[in-house]
Structures are given as C-alpha cells and as structure tokens.
Amino acid sequence: MSKNRSRWIIVALMVLMVANSVGAQKFTAPQKVIGVVEPRSGVYAEIGEYGIKGVQLALNQYNAKGGVLGSELTLVAEDTQSVVNVGAQKARKLITERGAVMLVGEVSSAVAAAMGAVASELNVIYMAAGANSNNITNEDAKRVMFRTDLSNWQSNNAMANYLLKNYGKRWYFLTSDYTWGHTAFNVAARILKENGGTQLANDLVPFGTSDYSSYLLKIRQAKPDVLYLSIGGTDLINFFKQFAGFGLKGTMQISGAIMNDSDAWTLGPGVMTGVWPNKQDWGEIVAVYPGPNDALDSIESTMTENPMILQNKYPLSVDKK
Amino acid sequence: MIVLSQIINGLILGTIYILMALGLSLIRGTMGILNFAHGVLFTLGAYLTVKIALVTNFWIAIIVGPILVGVIGMLIQRFFMRRLQGKHELFGLLLTFGMAYIIEDMIKIVWGVGGQPFNIPPLLSGFINLGVFIFPTYRLFILGVTVMLLIGLYIFLNKTKTGLIIKAGSRDLVMVSLLGIPVQKVFTLVFGLGTMLAGIAGALAAPMWGVQPTMGNKILIPAFVVITLGGMGSLVGAVAGGLIIGVAVSLAILIQPFFSDLIIYVIMAAVLLVRPRGLFGEVWEAYE
C-alpha cells in the first residue's frame, strides 16, 4: 500500500471516530432496549408490523429530544407468530438475553396473557397494546401488565347497543375460537339477550381459517338481521372476500367490535361492507407519546402513504352520549 | 337440503385440495420425495399471479404465474435436489423443508408481510342462485379448470411418450434408465410439473382466500393427508382423497366447526388402520 493511501485511511478512520463520538454526546447512560413483541407472520402479521413502526416512531421522537433519563432507546422486535408458547419464549428472550427494560405489543390476547405471566415472573413492565380480551384485565391480569387498547366490554357494549337500536334482533355470530373471540361474543350475546333478541347461532371459527364457504351457506340459510363478527386479521379479510360471492351483500347488516385499519386497507372499498366503530388504530403511538394530536401530526408527516389515516383522527364510540 | 348443499360445496372445496395433492402425489410417486416446499410454492403461485395481473390482466396472470412456479421448481430440482440423488430420502425432505422457510422469507422481504389486495374479475364475480343451492361463479370456474387439468393430465400420462416414461419411472427407475432414458431430465420435468400444479392452485385461490405469505401453510398438511388417504403416488387417489376431505370439512362445519380441523386426521387414521396403502395406493416395486 502506498504511503498516500494509508494516510487517507487513517484520516478517514479519525473522522469516523470523531463523528461517532459527536453523535453519541447527547447520551450519557448506556442504551436501553425496548422489547417489542408483535406477530410478524400469520393471521395478525400486518397489524403487528404497523405496531413495530409505531413504536419506532415514538422512540425516534424521544431520542431526538435526548432520550429518557439520559439513555438512548433502541427497539428490538421479536416475532410471536401469534402462537402462545412462541410469544412467551420470545418475551423471555427479550428480557433475559437482550436486556429489555420493558415489553410492548401483541395483537392476540391469548399470547399477551402468556407474555404477561412471563413479564410478571421477571418483574418487567409489559404494555399489552393490542389485546382486547376482557381476560387481560380480569383472570389474566398482572400488576406489571397494562392494556392501552379498548377492552372487549367497551367496544362490544357500544356496538351491540347501537346495532339493537338501528337494526334487527335476529343475530348470527361468527366468533374466532380463542379468548378474544369468546369474550367479545359473551358481551354482545348478553346484551342481545337482555334486550329480547334472538341468537340464531354462534359458530366458533378456528383461528387461521381460510375458507368460509360452509359458514356462509349456514348464514344464508339462517337469514339473520345482523351478522356479528368477532374475527380479525387475515381471517376477516378472507371472510369478506367470500361473502359477496355467496350473494349475501345487502341481505343483512354486518358488524363487530373491531375493524383494524390495515384489514380495511387490504380489503378496499369494493369488498368491505358493514358498520364498524371508528377507532384510533395507532394505539401504540398514542400510548407512548403524550397527547393524541402531537402523535397524529407526526404520523401524518412521516407516513403519508396511508391516506385513510385522516379518517381516524379521534377515537370514537359509536354510541355517542 | 342444507346437508346436500354442504356436500356439493365440499366437493367444490375439494378441488383446491385435489390440485395440491396431484402435484405432491406426482413428485412423491415418481421421485420418492415428500415436497415440503409445496405449500410455499402455492403461495408463490398466488403472489406471482397478483403481480403479473397488475401489468397485464387476470387471465394472462393465471397462466403465466403457475408456469413461472414450474420453472422455479425445475431450477430447484436441477441445481439442488439432483445433488442429493442416491442419498437417503430424508435429505431430500430436509432440503424441501429448508427451501420452504427460505422462499417464504424471501416473499416477505420482497413483497412485505401484509396482504395483497386481489379480487375476483368482474366476469366471474357473480353467483348462480338455485334456491337452496347457491354457487359462486368463481368456484364453478375453479371446478371447471380442475376438471380440464385432470383430463389433460390423464392424456399426458397415458397417451404421450413423456407421460408414459414418467409412469414407468415411478414403477421401476432402474429399468427405465437401463433402457437409455435420461432419468434426471424426467425428474426435472416431473418436479416442474408438480410444482406448477401447486402454482395453479395458488393462482386460483388468490382472489378467494387472501394473498399473504403464510397462506400456503394451512393447506400443506391437508394436502399430505389427502395423498396419504388416497394412496401415495396414485392420481386417482389424489382426486378421491381431495373430494372426501372437502366434503368432510364442509359437513364438520355444519355440525360443529371445532371438528373441521380434526376430522381430516380422524378419516386418515381410520383409512390407514384398515388399508395402510391408502384407498388407491399400489404396492410398487420401487418402494417395497
């Protein structure tokens, strides 16, 4: 190597070292890891990815202001696959191997409950951002686990009462066969019964079902006023894609307590139908960053590829008081 | 009446299982390999169809997409699986298992983890209403395509020279190679054909089932159940097995949806207890 070239390499290395130290001057304490547990595959994968983006956005904003207690925050994400034992294992890994100071995320309540148990055992705060099942704040509640999203009681209570006021009383239920679906159904069914309604059927759909043709034939035969869906993610998307094909569009009202934005975007206006509660689906961002309007302004400036976000300005309850 | 409509629905549902099982059965019967990448190639067929349809149209896409999957299958066989020729069949299984993970992750990297919007073309998006019976036009289209493919496959395997070589190869590979037929080329063709069938299944399912990276996972195991039930290597068995499974799942949903996942294994176990080779399986010299 020539003398000139080696000299340039030394200069370049020195510049890099200086630049690195300048950038790091804001943070006096070591980095703190925020463990993000989201499904990155399976039924809730898309919702999970947006969750990770939301946390990253929040951390960027915190770090730009000097971090928290002098520490820079870094995000480490693990894929729970929406499977209970995988989620528990990943939660444990983030805490014990990656040194996460807190956990945040998950869409499936069943997985969240399991991760809550792990967090409780290891004494780490866990923000169960997307888990709606009532169990999270009842049977499965832990001191360290907090929920930022609606409970099934809140959302199903609002929707069921609204639907009873505006549509018929003969309801057919399609329920995802795990804790979230069950507790959603329990709330809506109880309100239906208290108001003199008729439960035509409750089909427990296995999580991850792709073909709904048999269910649609049953629904068609039952001729309900309202079809109440407690299914989500790709399950919901598949259902809607097949619904119109069985000539059922317009023959009944479709509703449910949750329609995730990412599911609606995938379906598109031609396929999606029914009446759904409008809700702020960037829950992780609103929870971590103070003030809903600040968060939304920064979302709109950085994530302009989703025009539908403008429709979700404020969390709404359908049943306005 | 509802039972009858569920049975008919089940027969139509079975067509996707048949398409998957045909490819698996062809590969298993000829090459002795259980292709664990079949599910992910189903997914790849769907993705390629969606992307090609963006620049052309649905009709061109459902032809070109599966052909591309077949070509990819042939490349996999030529450059990876051929190296494991003559070794224990577990190696081939592990290879396809690994390929399944790799291809699925590549799909996620290239196209993201979210669902791809893809709808049934307007021409096929109606339904035929016969009172108690209702048939979405698109499902009848899938049925029609499957029937045509079955006829085409039958003609190919029984009336063409290449097809007869494939049949002979699954019976007695050693004799076929002694007769001077390039067995490796036959294998490449069979693998390509088998994977193309998975691609066709994916292409047809795309507008109906939602296109996302794990869409093939849920159909792979039922496809294995179908070929086990029908008889490994038997194409008639693949058809019979697919129809049986389709009807069983539909009826299970009518009675108790919880059993719809379970029933296929119960049926498979029952058949295997009585007839281990499957309904139409034959004892072939190669695998005694």
Q: Go through the domains of chain A in sequence order and give each one's CATH number.
A: 8-147 (3.40.50.2300), 152-267 (3.40.50.2300)
Mean per-residue pLDDT for A269-295?
Answer: 51
Q: State how beta strands A198-205 and A226-230 pair.
A: unpaired
Mean pLDDT check: name the lowest of A112-121, B187-196, B248-257, B276-285: B276-285
Average pLDDT over residues A29-55: 88
For residue A270, give the nearest of B108, B119, B260 by CB distance: B119
A85 or A270, greater pLDDT: A85
Residue A291 predicted with pLDDT over 50:
no
Mean model confidence pLDDT for chain B? 88
Among B253, B175, B87, CA closest to A203? B253
Q: What's the pLDDT score for residue A318?
A: 31
A162: tokens are 């609204």
Task: Pick A237's closest partner by Cβ from B134, B210, B260.
Answer: B210
pLDDT class of A20 with cuts at 50, 70, 90: low
Dihedral angle at the C-alpha atoms of B188, B194, B196, B202, nearest 10 degrees?
Answer: -150
Q: How confident is the model at residue B112 (pLDDT cuts 50, 70, 90)?
A: confident
Q: Which residue has the tokens 């059922």?
A: A248
Question: Are B220 and B16 in contact, with CB atoms under 8 Å apart?
Answer: no
Nearest partner of A283 among A20, A52, A8, judged by Cα? A52
CA distance B116 to chain A (A): 7
Chain length of chain A: 321
Confidence of residue B286 (pLDDT cuts 50, 70, 90): very low
CA A117 from centroid of its chain's CA atoms: 19
The answer on pLDDT for A209 being more than 60 is yes
With cut-offs at 50, 70 and 90, classify the pLDDT of residue B170: confident
Burial state string for B133-155 with b = 16 or more CB within 10 A and e = fewer than 16: ebbbebbeebeebbeebbeebee
> Could you count the other beta carbons within 10 Å of the beta carbon of residue A265?
18
- Residue A275 CA to residue A273 CA, distance in Å, equals 7
At A224, give phi and psi (nearest 5°): -80, 165
Chain B residues touching residue A238 (CB < 8 angstroms): 209-210
pLDDT on residue A287: 28
Please indicate whether, in this complex, the C-beta atoms of B210 and A211 are within 8 angstroms of each other. Answer: no
Residue A247's region, left for phi above 0, alpha for psi from -120 to 50, else beta, is left
In tens, the pLDDT along B113-140 reads: 877 888 888 888 888 888 778 888 999 9
Q: What is the dihedral of CA B99, B100, B103, B107, to 10 degrees?
A: -170
Interatomic CA distance for residues B194 and B37, integer angstroms: 11
Min Cα distance A176 → chain B (Å) is 11
Interface probe for A, chosen from B212, B215, B259, B260 (most Cβ of A below 10 Å), is B212
Task: Determine, for residues B9 and A217 on separate chains, whether the beta-carbon distance falls below 8 Å.
Answer: yes
Q: Which residues of A241-257 are buried (b: 16+ CB within 10 A; e: fewer)?
A: bbbbbbbbeeebbbbbb
| Percentage with pLDDT > 70 across chain B | 98
Q: How far is B155 from chain A (nearest CA, A)?
A: 31
Give A203's strand partners. A174
Half-sphere exposure of A30 (CA within 13 A, CB side): 4
Question: How high is the pLDDT of residue A312?
Answer: 39
Q: Identify the DSSP state of B119.
A: -
Residue B219 forms contact with A (CB below 8 Å): yes
Asked if residues A125 and A116 have their Cβ atoms less than 8 Å apart, the reply is no
Q: How far is CA B154 from the centre of its chain?
A: 16
Assess whether pLDDT exceeds 70 at residue A201. yes
Whole-number Å distance between alpha carbons of A33 and A102: 8
Question: Å from B28 to nearest chain A CA?
Answer: 26
Best interface-test mutation with A: which of B208, B218, B264, B265 has the largest number of A CBs within 10 A?
B208
Range among A55-69, A145-159, A162-176 rated most confident: A162-176
Count of H-run helices and E-run strands, chain A: 11, 9
At A292-319, the pLDDT tens digits run 344 444 444 444 344 333 333 333 323 2
- The reported pLDDT for the residue numbered B40 is 96
Nearest CA in chain A to B125: A245
pLDDT tens for each residue of B181-225: 888 888 899 999 999 999 999 999 999 888 888 889 889 999 999
- Nearest by CB: A206 against B2, B215, B261: B261
pTM greater than the 0.90 cutoff:
no
Are B213 and A244 within 8 A, CB to CB? no
Q: Where are the alpha helices (DSSP H) in chain A?
A: 3-24, 45-64, 84-96, 109-122, 152-166, 179-194, 213-222, 233-243, 261-267, 283-288, 292-302
∠ CA B240-B10-B1, nearest 5°, is 125
Query: Helices B38-55 and B58-79 sit at what angle, rounded to 10 degrees?
Result: 140
C-alpha distance from residue B85 to each of A17, A307, B170 (Å): 53, 54, 15
Judge residue A306's burial from the number of C-beta atoms within 10 Å of its C-beta, 0-12 exposed, 13-18 middle, 19 or more buried. middle
Closest CA to A235 of A108, A122, A84: A108
**Is 60 exceeded by the pLDDT of residue A165?**
yes
User: Interface pTM (ipTM) of the complex?
Assistant: 0.86
Q: Which of B50, B129, B134 to mutate: most A Cβ within 10 Å? A: B134
Q: Is the pLDDT of residue A85 over 80?
A: yes
pLDDT tens figures, B229-246: 988 878 888 999 999 999
Find residue A103's DSSP bridge partners. A35, A126
Confidence of residue A278 (pLDDT cuts 50, 70, 90): low
Average pLDDT value for residue range B147-158: 91
Contacts of B12 in chain A (CB under 8 A): 213
Question: Is the CB of residue A176 less than 8 Å away from at least one CB of chain B?
Answer: no
pLDDT for B251 beyond 80: yes
